[in-house]
Structure 1
């Protein structure tokens, strides 16, 4: 495997190129090339990330200061879910936070105490001071905190097009990735069914040993050339369309340090604040709402400020390839599959898969069969667990105000693996041992925030009085930490402005 090619740019292609470039840096025998069409624009709406991206960017040698300055970056400490529960029972604009700090970061696990005595309070508010920091629009760090470190856990919101450009620059300059602008017209297969060559409009025939398909929904290599079947997940995840729009903001506007995900009668709306605009997406099921209704609802959400704005419709083919690695080709990003963007799954799965591939890349044809089986097993497990976690948000909701929410609660739409866990968690609160694989992309902490943010009914366990007193003390301590952090941490926009002016400390 001497000649590796990534077909397609965008976030997926350039993440893959950086992972592979880092892997083979200094290895003169291996070349990595990225072929990008000059005529096809990337989707460009994947603007939310999860905390692991900090580790990835740092490993690529990208300065956090440069990243924040170049990509319109803001900090993301949570996803705030609004109206995911019944308004009659929980009030208009009911909400909960899925925080990025673990619920037991500042104390022992207070879940049993909250279940028994704390339900007058929001779960995340009792367990973590980050809830208060989010609600007060605080940054997760100060200007003197070193790059990629924080007083609170965080990820980023970013301009996807600018992010891809920064990754491109890094890959070419640091890892000697060859960047070719060309349109692939067709794919040639060998007599064994593997990919033999790419034919391009501008450069003719190009031959490589190993191919990465980052061609987006088109899936030019895995789907069209290799005919890898698509596994449809639309019976479990019902939303299949999105209207997206960019809304300009003022330099003085507050920047929430979280994604807002507001539920509506047939889906939900993402609202991501960058430094100079908001990225808004109205996600819906067109089996439960017409396109015209969706547009009217998005107009309403934008409070009549939609004049002059351009809506783009994105159809969503929900599911993934049956195999992610076939012969000498691995698919990544949207070519690998797509699930609705709840919980920022697209960049997360791409980064996870690209890192996993680079970590143990085949050196020869003989190694490929074993590594192909391993990769497909792990990625299949990861995708299934992500489907479970996304479905969780819908199926435990107590909303019954529309057919969409009632259909999501039907047993036949809930994966068996999720149903088994929910049955267990009706009797016992989740334990870390319930998440036995390190390939659980979302695990114990994530489930706790969603389950109890949405007030999932778990049978109360016995709580000894000594544990009760200790837990009560710890809950009071978390309140004190929250008050202290609110005084200590800067306003979110204030920190972004300081980073642009002064920069963060190098690690």
Structure 2
């Protein structure tokens, strides 16, 4: 039981596998400590799924930590800046106007944890949309401005940001960086057999490789996707299905080339609700990635593809559509014995809010920080990891469901069933009952590692015009003068940023030609 954990073996590549390899190799200093080693083995026959092309700001911190130059990453992965998401028609259009709201990545000059503007906005909600009243970033996105100045150093921000990226190119970029800069051993092979010891710990992988027929290890990370080799086929850890809560089980994706070099490149994801799902629209430097996420219970693949092509119009002519099944749910245990499931092998909700890559990255960082010194300490970390990621998956499911269950759309069975109480998690139901009497506060989010924070809930709740009775919220209204001052500051800063920040396209050109100042 005192066997040291020196060799970590990752099964599966893609974004999850290579982010995990990079994080572990950097933190364990495998290039300078001969006792520590990271090996990634991946099949040469399985293509990268690459559904998610949107990310969260945590990826900036990870790329910086593993020693990647931001401009190099952006050039090689066709990356653009992401400042949030624009939701279109998630409520019924009123007065002939398309329903729209942003979930921006930051509020710039306040946090609702410190002083919430929500109750003050609720007193006069007809005056301005919530995200416009509290967030400069919504105005910046409307004006197609970038999140930073031309002279802002790499990874630094004027407005909080993340990226849109080509998932296939990102995996290839990480592969090269991990092998050449971080000392990761890369094996192209298929795992044919998993060998366990008497205590049922994995000790060895048998592969079809002539150069690496066996791979010994101390800790094994399963990043092998939706049909995982270790956590499912070897350990048979049950899968908790969530299709009764999250209905969207299929995606159809189309890559759409630009017809002009001067086309506008939005710095936000556009998410447009449909009769049986929604369409994502992501702008990269050289193309758009557009897809329809839907429930096969409420429409057919053929009809869903036609909906997507109708959305794209002439831009879709000659473009091939790819059908991607989505396995919705998560493991009852993410860590078992000396095996940790990260990526789709551990769980997947759906692409809404781009939580997938965030959760992969969060798991890799927690594993690196909590790395047990030996088997003797492994059970402690296993229990902590499982509790943490069960909570993170549950909270992610609740937040995604929020977008559907408080919508006022009832035009199809899909939207009607999404509002059925039987499909809404009990914890979310209880929260919504309370939030009808007052807006959420920081005390509603007691877990330090919840994926979605107070501000995210406020953007969605009041973007979808959730009915909170302000009369019951008077105890939260403690300083109307300060609230008015903060809202004025948002308006003034918005005007200043829109005027002085470069266009998103000009900023991207600068990245391509000159890069950023290294820090």
Shared topology, TM-score over 0.5? yes
8 Å CA contact 1:9, 1:36 repeated in 2: yes
Q: CA deviation at 1:465?
A: 9.7
Distance 1:188 1:223, change over 3 A: same
Q: How many residues align?
A: 506
Structure 2 CA distance for aligned equivalents of residues 285 and 254 of structure 1:
31
1:23 equivalent to 2:33? Answer no
Corresponding position of 2:296: 286
Structure 2 CA distance for aligned equivalents of residues 288 and 48 of structure 1:
26
CA RMSD of aligned residues (A): 1.7
Structure 1 CA distance for aligned equivalents of residues 330 and 475 of structure 2:
44
Deviates more, 1:91-100 or 1:135-144: 91-100
Corresponding position of 1:192: 199
1:208 equivalent to 2:217? Answer yes
1:478 equivalent to 2:490? Answer yes
Corresponding position of 2:274: 264
Corresponding position of 2:367: 357
8 Å CA contact 2:134, 2:490 repeated in 1: yes
Q: CA deviation at 1:305?
A: 3.1
Q: CA deviation at 1:17?
A: 0.3
Q: CA deviation at 1:306?
A: 2.2
8 Å CA contact 1:83, 1:92 repeated in 2: no
Distance 1:186 1:90, change over 3 A: farther
Per the alignment, in what secondary structure is the counterpart of residue 363 of structure 2?
A: helix
Corresponding position of 1:437: 447
Structure 2 CA distance for aligned equivalents of residues 21 and 473 of structure 1:
48
Distance 1:389 1:464, change over 3 A: closer
Q: CA deviation at 1:470?
A: 4.0
8 Å CA contact 1:113, 1:463 repeated in 2: no
Corresponding position of 1:498: 510
Within a 5 Å distance, the mapping from 1:110-189 to structure 2 comes to: 110-189=117-196
Q: CA deviation at 1:421?
A: 1.1
Per the alignment, in what secondary structure is the counterpart of residue 130 of structure 1?
A: helix
Corresponding position of 1:330: 340
8 Å CA contact 2:146, 2:502 repeated in 1: yes
1:9 equivalent to 2:13? Answer yes
Gaps of 5+ in 2: none
Within a 5 Å distance, the mapping from 1:277-316 to structure 2 comes to: 277-316=287-326
Deviates more, 1:424-433 or 1:185-194: 185-194
8 Å CA contact 1:316, 1:340 repeated in 2: yes
Q: Deviations over 1:261-308 (max 9, x none)?
A: 100011101110000100111000000111111011111011143221
Corresponding position of 1:105: 110
Q: CA deviation at 1:337?
A: 1.2
Q: CA deviation at 1:109?
A: 3.0
8 Å CA contact 2:119, 2:476 repeated in 1: no
Q: CA deviation at 1:119?
A: 2.8
Corresponding position of 1:408: 418
Corresponding position of 1:80: 86
Corresponding position of 1:234: 243
Gaps of 5+ in 1: none
Instruction: Give TM-score, length-normalised by structure 2.
Output: 0.94
Corresponding position of 1:243: 252
Distance 1:420 1:463, change over 3 A: closer
